[in-house]
Amino acid sequence: MAVRVQIYLFQILFLVFVVSAERSDTRFLLTSNASSGERHSEEYCVMYDICGKRSDGKVLNCPYGSPSVKPDDMFSSKIQSMCPTISGNICCTEAQFDTLQTQVQQAIPFLVGCPACLRNFLNLFCELTCSPNQSLFINVTSVSKVNNNLTVAGIDFIITDAFGEGLYNSCKDVKFGTMNTRAIDFIGAGAKNFKEWFAFIGTRATPNMPGSPYAINFRPSIAESSGMKPMNVSAYSCGDTSLGCSCGDCPSASVCSDYAPPSIHIEGSCSVRIGSLKAKCIEFSLAIIYVILVSIFLGWGLCHRSRERNPAPRMKPMLNVMDGSELHSTNRPKDENLSSQVLEDVPQLRNGVQLSIVQGYMSNFYRRYGTWVARHPTIILCSSLAIVLVLCLGLIRFKVETRPEKLWVGPGSKAAEEKQFFDSHLAPFYRIEQILEGMKIMNFFLDFNRLHSSTPLEGILSLRLNSILALYHLLDLVSKFFCDDKLSDVKLDLTDSIVLATIPDANGISPSIVTENNIKLLFEIQKKVDGIRANSSGSMISLTDICMKPIGQDCATQSVLQYFKMDPRNYDDYGGVQHVEYCFQHYTSTDTCMSAFKAPLDPSTALGGFSGNNYSEASAFIVTYPVNNAIDKEGNEIGRAVAWEKAFIQIVKDDLLPMMQSKNLTLSFSSESSIEEELKRESTADAITISISYLVMFAYISLTLGDSPRLSSFYISSKILLGLAGVMLVMLSVLGSVGFFSAIGVKSTLIIMEVIPFLVLAVGVDNMCILVHAVKRQPLELPLEGRISNALVEVGPSITLASLAEVLAFAVGTFIPMPACRVFSMFAALAVLLDFLLQVTAFVALIVFDFLRAEDRRIDCIPCIKISPSYADSDKISSESVGIGQRKPGLLARYMKEVHAPILSLWGVKLVVISVFVAFALTSIALCTRIQPGLEQKIVLPRDSYLQGYFNNVSEYLRIGPPLYFVVKNYNYSSESRHTNQLCSISQCNSDSLLNEIARASLIPESSYIAKPAASWLDDFLVWISPEAFGCCRKFTNGSYCPPDDQLLDMIAPDKIKPPCCASEDGSCNPNGLCKDCTTCFLHSDLYNDRPSTAQFREKLPWFLTALPSADCSKGGHGAYTSSVELKGFESGIIQASSFRTYHTPLNKQVDYVNSMRAAREFTSRVSDSLKIEIFPYSVFYMFFEQYLDIWRTALINLAIAIGAVFVVCLVITCSLWSSAIILLVLAMIVVDLMGVMAILNIQLNALSVVNLVMAVGIAVEFCVHTTHAFSVSSGDRNQRMKEALGTMGASVFSGITLTKLVGVIILCFSRTEVFVVYYFQMYLALVLLGFFHGLVFLPVVLSMCGPPSRCVLIDKLEDQPSPASQL
């Protein structure tokens, strides 16, 4: 019977005040006739004694008037102990009073924390039952005959509105901590005023239903001729100093007025209004800055133009040569397409390049290295490949990290430490619900790692969070009542669920789903689900075979159909829609509202789309099927469940969806395996997309490396084999990086496998194009080793500079605390470094082989076949394939030099370019403030996934947030400590205690994100041991714990153990089997200010935590608080860890999760500092969202380090602060503009976008460094040098950098997964376009206006000058 008593606990609890009313009613039935004035006078009763019982056992009073009687001294003192307002004569028998006292004790635990409320509540029923002046305010209006006895059937209770208002106001905010709600919700059906409360009390209940056994009509007045007058006992205010309540139970108390809730802080609230235009302060400030900058720039431009038109006589500038710098000679003939040319050995003036020390050493190195590698390409190729292949051997130890806490939580994470503390000192998150001990809740609560095994993205977590919270809340309730040990081994999967919703009308308003047709339709859906049969290892599986069955044989399906016991035949019998609406308000108290599996069903878990408690307005049904996760005979843990889930998904798609569409309803659904299956489908689809992207890039590389295609020579001049070899080198660099880190024990991640190959290919292709084009630009009269040497001298320093900058840019990502991003940065940095080394070694050797192949007239891709001279004009083929004679510049190079550069040289164009780019940069700064942190859950799934609609509906309809725990460390419960009153929230607790502050915070959920006051084991424990709660803490004569009477009835059953006092023959048991000598634990004199001593606390706390809640004492801590207190070592007077549970408000967006965590931490920090007690908040999602608290700081620091590293590298290599500053400016503008684009496209700031931003710094270097280097080594004025730089490097930057990335990125737009479209297509495309416009439009303009001075000087060419091979 113990289990059954627990099952009906809440039903009985809800009856508490009703039963009190019933018994009171038994005492109400005082007068049967109001016609006689003498019957309505002082010292006269209208109801006296008990004359019968209803068929459901509810007692009925006698409707006979009689004079009040004087009780004996013992009875009088007994009455005074509970009803101090009644003295002298009384209008009740001792049997009536005992009934009253027995039933009132059920309500006392709800209200004892607020003495004023409790006193008013008791006074109401004391006056009704025993007042000697009962006839003055009670009038019996109807009687009924029971067993030939007249009994009361209805009364009028005349009571002043002042008392009713005072009673309600003193009780309306009293908390029922166990349920994180108000006590009035249970003893007053959530009444909004005293009239609603009185109406609830006075409603006559039908048989076997909760409520009064007779009707009570509360009236504020009556005609004076009746001789009656309203009952007007003084009502105590909850702020009364003598019976004061805590601030948590009485926020209106004067003592609480000094602790007003903090005002809601709205970020970015600063704004400026100009007429009807309203703008943020930052936007207004940036607009002013822009106007000032543009005005200054235009003024400077006009002055500069006027000076150019009227040039003043100037001295010929002298070139100061830096000490220690090297002077390199170079020829710049009028044909700008040649970087050097062999001239006759005659004295003449030549252009020389003044290089920095580092560049000088690099040029000398590349000159010698280029000559050597051209002579020994085989050695270079084999040795470089051998080194990389050795690194690839580390792939033997290759492992992928999938554990979310290892991917997204840093080793020093505060949230991780708090989770570890919570799990080790209290219990893992799920063990808070004892019924779920050892259960696996749908990959979220109990098997948390498995939830993330398919992807490292933290968005998977958010996918399951909202959909599971409602179920968690329900199970949180159920766990308090089902505490039988046999349930502890149940394994549970909270799995398949359906959301059925109405479609909004033209005004966007969704009609109510709670209609007769929709409920019957839900029965049809349930019938189809019940009829599902799935084949698992030869056996047919149905829902009943795998569903969770807490008690009996009924599935614990969470559905409004549970109000009909899941039986459509009960629909009409129970009352249809009216019954459902009744159960919405009485789901804990009415037997017909209890579920088929014998537990209350909270309507908020089965409905969605309602506001407040207006469940009838709900626009969605939410049905969830909890499934057992049992191991079958073959050891397959979830084989049967998975088989059924597949059949479930199929029948929903094939049958239920068309059915719902025909009914103009929406249906969304999910199962435990849905996400995993959808992610697998996504991976397959995107693997094809990414592969196509790589193939397109490879095809473009092969075309761009070769010469202009001509049918007569294409098979020789093409570079398909060279391009393929280059792509293979890129792949080897990635494998080498992964192999190296795998060898030293660093696990890879899925981000690395998906992103780094694409990244390194995009970076590596640039160098391949630049190297090949540089070799092609060399004079063809030179031998091949001379051309290779000159090409490396020309582009080697800029390639080295760009590559080192990229390596450093990625390397700074190791400072990111998130392991996934840190590991990604490590792998990327080494991959880019290896790629660079392979480019200047193996790829240069491959270039040598390819040019030798072309010179030998061998076919590309099939070099073993040689074209004979007779087959075609050999001279023409040679000329076209290897460039014998002077090659004409390509179309793109001519465009850059003859069209693009001249346009940018125009002053009007320069002014427009500067103005536009500066405007976009400042606009982007303003837009950056709108970027939100997080990773939206939907983008990690395929766009055509059925889960998209499911999560949209979950986000829209669910009204319950994640559980939130406030964990207290080292609580000192000794009587000398102040900690108890600093934590609790009942009478005599500090007004600024932790629980009172939580209650205040719950009043402003918009900013605190706390939905309810906290469930407090401490409050309930103090109430449990209180002498007023005489049905709770009790002891036998031998000092052992005595359970409440209703639990003792179970214990004395034949198959149960006898209680200690009944073990002897001394007659210590009452006839009904209860113990006569079971007494309360303490008297008021045993406590000090209603607080236990250290020894009393130590002794009774374990009793409380093992006490089962029941009707006689709802405050038992077993189930509700078993995991809320750590008893290990508590004997010392210190409880190392304890928690207080509440809930966040519904969190539907990523920013809500982040803000809720931030608000909880700020709250606990403030309270902890005030109370000098160590407190921290904990919720299961904190560990994965902690990264977003400082994501902006992390992003800005890493971007600053990355850009700073590039600046330092440029400064060291070029020794030019001027050039380095310009590169720094352009990089910063590209990154800022990219963030502006993120804001425009609503791309959130998360680990992926931070990695992309850091990566953008490295890639953007490619667009700047080569052009800046070419500009610095060109001669002439700035406009001429800008044209020279664009003619030399513009084509390579556009074709080798921009177009290469562009063709690969565009393919990603066809990805079926939003995460690739958003974070790889949109961000990469924006990066490429911004890099192109800044590198080929903005940067040339800046260089032409304020570029660094040229490094070219005029020198005499002497007879012993170096050979042309050494020239630039």
Give the residue with greater pLDDT, 401 vs 514.
514
Say yes or no to pLDDT of 889 above 70.
Answer: no
User: How many CB atoms are closer than 10 A to CB 303?
Assistant: 10
SS3 content of the chain, % helix, strand, coil (to 5): 55, 10, 35
For residue 177, the model assigns a pLDDT of: 65
DSSP string, 488-533: TT--EEEEEEEEEEEPP-TTSPPPPS-SHHHHHHHHHHHHHHHT--
- Of 125, 156, 129, 168, the C-alpha closest to 221 is 156
Taking residues 105-115, report their average pLDDT. Answer: 78
Of residues 536 and 813, more confidence is placed in 536
- Which class for 1064: exposed (0-12), middle (13-18), buried (19 or more C-beta within 10 A)? exposed
Looking at the DSSP bridge assignments, the partners of residue 215 are 154
Q: How far apart are CA 342 and CA 348, in angstroms?
A: 13
Binning pLDDT at 50, 70 and 90, where does residue 420 land? Answer: confident
Could you tell me if 1101 and 1021 are in contact, meaning their C-beta atoms sit under 8 angstroms apart? yes
* Cβ(1177)–Cβ(1164) below 8 Å: yes
Nearest to 827 by CA among 766, 754, 762: 754
Whole-number pLDDT of residue 348: 44
Residue 26 and residue 60 in contact, taking contact as beta carbons nearer than 8 Å? yes
Instruction: Answer whether residue 1120 shows pLDDT above 50.
Output: yes
Q: What is the pLDDT of residues 1194-1243, one digit of tens each?
A: 888 888 888 888 888 888 888 888 888 999 999 999 999 999 999 999 99
SS3 category, 412: coil
Is the Cβ–Cβ distance between 1295 and 1262 less than 8 Å? no
Contact indicator for 153, 214 with CB cutoff of 8 Å: yes
- Tokens describing residue 1061: 């006092």
- Top pLDDT among 314 and 713 is at 713
Closest of 1159, 1162, 1156, 1161 to residue 1144, by C-alpha: 1156
Task: Assign 1043 a pLDDT band (cuts: 50, 70, 90).
Answer: confident
Task: Find the farthest-apart pair of alpha carbons in the chain and give their distance in angstroms, rounded.
Answer: 145
Confidence of residue 19 (pLDDT cuts 50, 70, 90): very low
348-355 and 66-67 beta bridge pairing: unpaired
Whether the CB-CB separation of 112 and 90 falls below 8 Å is answered with no
pLDDT exceeding 90 applies to what percent of the chain? 15
| pLDDT level of residue 1358 (50, 70, 90 thresholds) | very low
Q: Are 597 and 555 in contact (CB under 8 A)?
A: yes
What is the rounded average pLDDT of the residues 604-630?
81
1023, 1089 Cβ separation under 8 angstroms: no
* Mean pLDDT value across residues 465-470: 30
Does 265 have pLDDT greater than 80? no
Please tell me the predicted confidence (pLDDT) of residue 399.
Answer: 84
- 445 Cβ contact list (under 8 Å, min separation 6): 429, 430, 436, 468, 472, 494, 1180
CA gap 893, 886 in Å, rounded: 15
How far is 1166 from 62, CA to CA, in rounded Å?
A: 59
Three-state secondary-structure class, residue 856: coil
Average pLDDT over residues 19-31: 37
Please tell me the predicted confidence (pLDDT) of residue 320: 40
Q: What does the alpha-carbon distance between residue 134 and residue 128 come to, in Å, rounded to a whole number?
A: 7
Measured CA to CA, the distance from residue 968 to residue 1113 in angstroms comes to 26
- Do 16 and 184 contact (CB within 8 A), yes or no? no
Question: To which residue do tokens 């395996």 refer?
Answer: 673
| Residue 747 phi, psi dihedral angles, 5° rounding | -80, 150
Q: Cα dist. 16→185, 210, 803, 1112, 1150 in Å?
A: 12, 10, 77, 9, 42
Q: What confidence tier does 1096 reach under pLDDT thresholds 50, 70, 90?
A: very high
pLDDT for 372 equals 92
Are 793 and 1368 in contact by the 8 Å Cβ rule? The answer is yes
CB–CB of 697/765 below 8 Å?
Answer: yes
pLDDT level of residue 385 (50, 70, 90 thresholds): very high
- Cβ(1226)–Cβ(918) below 8 Å: no
Dist CA 741 CA 750 (whole Å)? 15
The token pair at 114 is 């607020």
Of residues 80 and 1134, the one with the higher pLDDT is: 1134
Alpha-carbon gap, residue 440 to 588, rounded angstroms: 27
Q: Which residue has the higher pLDDT, 675 or 909?
A: 909
- DSSP count for the chain of H helices, then E strands: 52, 28
Residues linked to residue 156 through DSSP beta bridges, in sequence order:
139, 217
Query: What is the residue type of 1199?
Result: L
Q: Which of 705, 840, 717 is nearest to 773 (CA)?
A: 705
**DSSP state letter for 204:** B
Separation of alpha carbons 611 and 1148, rounded Å: 15
Read off the tokens for 931: 């970027």
CA dist 744 and 827 (Å) reads 12
Pair 624, 496: CB distance under 8 Å: yes
Candidate from 271-285, 327-341, 391-405, 523-537 with smallest mean pLDDT: 327-341
Lowest mean pLDDT among 456-470, 761-775, 883-897: 456-470
Q: What is the mean pLDDT of residues 1281-1300?
A: 81
What whole-number distance in Å separates Cα of residue 1126 and Cα of residue 726? 62
The arithmetic mean of pLDDT across residues 1118-1141, rounded, is 88
- Tokens 């290295």, residue located: 369
Helix (H), strand (E), coil (C) string for 237-296:
CCCCCCCCCCCCCCCCCHHHCCCCCCCCCCCCCCEEEECCEEEEHHHHHHHHHHHHHHHH
**218: enclosing H helix or E strand:** strand 215-219
Beta-carbon contacts of 227 under 8 Å, excluding residues fewer than 6 positions away, are: 37, 40, 41, 136
Length of the chain counted residue by residue? 1368
Phi-psi region of 442 (alpha: psi -120 to 50; beta: other; left: phi over 0): left
Residue 1367 has pLDDT above 90, yes or no: no
Q: pLDDT grade, residue 884 (50/70/90)?
A: very low
723 near 705, Cβ under 8 Å?
Answer: yes
Q: Whole-angstrom Cα distance, residue 52 to residue 25?
A: 12
- Separation of alpha carbons 1169 and 429, rounded Å: 26
User: Amino acid identity, residue 694?
Assistant: Y
Query: Could you give the count of Cα atoms lying within 13 Å of 220 in the half-sphere of its Cβ?
Result: 8
Residues in a beta bridge with 45? 66
Mean pLDDT of the residues in the chain? 76
Residue 719 has what pLDDT?
78
Write the DSSP symbol of residue 932: P
Residue 278, class by beta-carbon neighbours within 10 Å (0-12 exposed, 13-18 middle, 19+ buried)? exposed
Which residues have a Cβ under 8 Å from the Cβ of 885 and sit 6 or more positions away?
Answer: 780, 879
Confidence (pLDDT) at 523: 92
pLDDT digits (tens, 9 = 90+) for 793-840: 888 888 888 888 888 877 877 777 778 778 888 888 899 899 999 989
In angstroms, the CA 709 to CA 702 distance is 11
Confidence of residue 1168 (pLDDT cuts 50, 70, 90): very high
* pLDDT(862) > 70: yes
Which of 313-317, 622-626, 643-647, 945-949 is predicted with the least confidence, judged by mean pLDDT?
313-317
- Look at residue 330 and give its three-state secondary structure: strand
Give the pLDDT confidence score for residue 389 in this predicted structure.
93
Are β-strands 1041-1042 and 1034-1035 bridged in parallel, bridged antiparallel, or unpaired? antiparallel
Q: Which residues contact 124 (CB under 8 A, 6 or more apart)?
A: 24, 163, 167
Tokens 């308003």, located at residue = 509
Across residues 494-512, what is the average pLDDT? 73
pLDDT tens digits for range 230-247? 988 888 888 777 777 777
Separation CA 106–CA 99 (nearest Å): 12
203-212, 552-561, 617-626: least confident range: 203-212
Q: What is the DSSP letter of 320?
A: P
Neighbours of 654 (CB within 10 A): 9
